[in-house]
Amino acid sequence: MYIHKEGYKITFFTILILIISLALICTYIDNFNWFWYILMAGLFVFAFLIIRFFRIPKREIIHSPNQIIASADGTIVVVERVYESEFLNCECIQISTFMSPNNVHVNRYPVNGKIVYVNYHSGKYLIAKNPKSSTLNERTSVCLETENGKRIMIRQIAGALARRIVCYAKEGQQVMQGEELGFIKFGSRVDVFVPLDCDIHCELEDKVKGGLSVIATL
């Protein structure tokens, strides 16, 4: 397990603030009571949670050209037939994963392919479980085209806590299944739109892990 590069700066400042706060308390407080002990414990817990948020566990990523893997860790909150009007302009199956602050927040490419579309949208910060968040919230949409011409869209969506979407995708880039697509900071959601003829292997409330869980088969 290691700290993701998106967390280097905030992890550094979190540890720095922790050290300075503890040093000031120990230097200027002579009579310790329960309040100060609780405060110091709270500082440790806060720093631990911030650092833990940016953790990246070591994983043996699945590599299978016919399988679609989860792009994110979290809970499946949507599995339904929809009309995707931003780029695909066709009916497809939407599979949405809600990421709580407790989940690993790196996002991964679900298949091998060429990036044919990338678009960032500014927007609201509705709770990520809200169905409207897919089209109203701040989001980044990325579409991959596989070797056999299948198109799969991934949409990173900011939630009520998330205030920054990081996306590494660039149009024309050839990417591998399981590689990092990006990172969403502090709670969010990822939608994956797959062709109608896919076999779906997940249901509502299923727990999935990015790069490990197979959610569909082409």
Task: Return the active site residues.
Answer: 188
Gap between the Cα atoms of 97 and 185, Å rounded = 15
Say if residue 149 is exposed, middle or buried (CB neighbours under 10 Å; 0-12, 13-18, 19+): exposed
Which DSSP state fits 186? S
Kind plus residue range of the DSSP H or E element containing 170 = none
Say if residue 123 is exposed, middle or buried (CB neighbours under 10 Å; 0-12, 13-18, 19+): middle
Radius of gyration of the chain measured on its C-alpha atoms: 20
Q: Are strands 106-108 and 180-185 parallel, antiparallel or unpaired?
A: antiparallel
Gap between the Cα atoms of 155 and 147, Å rounded = 21
Gap between the Cα atoms of 68 and 70, Å rounded = 7
Query: Please, are residues 208 and 202 in contact by the beta-carbon 8 Å criterion?
Result: yes
Residue 43 main-chain phi, psi, to 5 deg: -65, -40
Gap between the Cα atoms of 2 and 209, Å rounded = 17
